[in-house]
Structure 1
Amino acid sequence: MTGDSPRVSGADPEHVEALVAAQAPLPPIIVQRSTMQVIDGLHRLSAARLRGDDKICVVFFDGDEAEAFVLAVESNTTHGLPLTTAERKLATRRIIASHPQWSDRMIASVAGLAPGTVATIRRQTQDVPTAQTARIGQDGRVRPINIAEGRRLAGQLIAENPGLSLRQIARAAAISPETARDVRNRMLRGEDPMPKSRTRKQAGGAAAHETEPRDFTVPAVRTVLERTPVQHRTAVVERLRADPALRFSETGRALLRLLNVYTISAQNWEEIIDNVPPHCGGIVARLANECAGMWAEFATRLEHKVVESA
Structure 2
Amino acid sequence: MTGQEHAPVSGTSGFPSGRALSARPDAGVVMVAVTDLLAADSPRTGGDDLAHVRNMAESATELPPIIVHRATMRVIDGMHRLRAVIMRGGDRIAARFFDGSAEEAFVVAVHQNAVHGLPLSNADRTAAAGRILRSHPQWSDRRIAEIAGLSDKTVGAIRRRLPVNVSGQRIGRDGRARPVSARAGRLRAGELLARRPDAPLREVAAQAGIALSTARDVRRRLSAGEGPIPPKRPRVARPRTPVAGPGPAGHEATPVSVPVQTGPGDVLPALRELARDPALRATVEGRAVLRLLSLHTQTLDHWERLIVRLPPHSRTAVARLARHCARTWDAVARRLEGHRAAERP
What TM-score bracket applies, with the shorter chain setting the length? Answer: 0.5 to 0.7
Q: Does 1:93 align with 2:130?
A: yes
Give the distance between the partners of 1:87 and 1:139, measured in 2 at CA: 25
Partner of 2:54: 17
Residue 38 of structure 1 and its aligned partner are, at CA, apart by 0.8
What TM-score comes out, normalization by structure 2 length?
0.52
Which residue of the partner structure matches residue 170 of structure 1?
A: 205
Cα distance in 2 for residues equivalent to 1:202 and 1:21: 66
Cα shift at 1:193: 4.5
Q: CA deviation at 1:169?
A: 3.6
**Which among 165, 168, 172 is matched to residue 137 of structure 1?**
172
Aligned-partner SS, 2:92: coil
Look up the match of 2:39.
Answer: 2
1:34 corresponds in structure 2 to: 71
CA distance in 2, matches of 1:134, 1:114: 20
Q: Report the CA distance shift for 1:169/1:39 in structure 2 as closer, same or farther (over 3 A).
A: closer
| Counterpart check, 1:48 vs 2:94 | no
- Structure having the higher helix fraction is 1
CA distance 1:50–1:153, change in 2 (3 Å): closer
Instruction: Sort the Cα spacing of 1:186 and 1:49 in 2 relative to 1 into closer, same or farther, 3 A.
Output: same
Alpha-carbon separation, structure 2, partners of 1:136 and 1:108: 13
Find 1:120's aligned residue among 149, 157, 167: 157
Measured after TM superposition, the shift of residue 188 of structure 1 is 4.7
Question: In structure 2, what residue type is equivalent to 1:175?
Answer: I
CA shift at 1:171, angstroms? 5.1
Q: Give the aligned residue type for 1:65.
A: A
Distance 1:200 1:110, change over 3 A: farther
Residue 165 of structure 1: CA displacement?
Answer: 3.9
Shift of 1:145: 0.8
Q: CA RMSD in A?
A: 2.7
Q: Secondary structure at the match of 1:57?
A: strand
Larger relative contact order (CA 8 Å, sep ≥ 6): 1
Query: How far 1:186 moved relative to its partner?
Result: 4.3
Range that drifts further, 8-17 or 184-193 = 184-193
Structure 2 partner of 1:151: 186
The letter of the residue matching 1:13 is L
Q: Over residues 58-77 of structure 1, what are the superposed CA-to-partner deviations in whole Å (9 max), with x where a residue is unaligned? A: 11111111011111101100
Mark the runs of 5 or more structure 1 residues left unpaired by the alignment. Answer: 205-310
1:72/1:160 CA distance change after superposition, 3 Å:
closer
Q: CA deviation at 1:154?
A: 2.8
How far the C-alpha of 1:177 sits from its partner, in A, is 3.7
User: Distance in 1 between the 2:110 and 2:168 partners?
Assistant: 26
Contact kept? 2:137, 2:165, Cα under 8 Å: yes
CA displacement 1:166-187 (0-9 Å, x = unmatched)? 2454355333443211222345
Distance change (3 Å), C-alpha of 1:65 and 1:103: same
TM-score by length of 1: 0.58
Find the aligned partners of 1:203 and 1:20 in 2 and give their Cα distance: 66
For residues 202 and 102 of structure 1, do their structure 2 counterparts lie closer, same or farther at Cα, with a shift above 3 Å needed? farther
2:235 and 2:111 map into 1 onto residues whose CA distance is 34
CA distance in 2, matches of 1:177, 1:114: 27
Deviation string, structure 1 residues 144-203 (Cα, Å, up to 9, x no partner): 11112211343455467644442454355333443211222345567774568xx46999
Equivalent residue, structure 1, for 2:269: none
Kept in 1: contact 2:68–2:97 (CA 8 A): yes
Corresponding pairs, count: 200
- How many Å apart are 1:16 and its aligned residue? 1.0
* Alignment partner, residue 221 of structure 1: none
For the Cα contact (< 8 Å) 2:178–2:208, is it kept in 1? no
* Comparing 53-62 and 157-166, the one that deviates more: 157-166
Change (3 A) 1:118 1:202: farther
Partner of 2:294: none
Q: Is the 8 A contact 2:39 2:79 kept in 1?
A: yes
**Per-residue deviation at 1:5?**
0.9
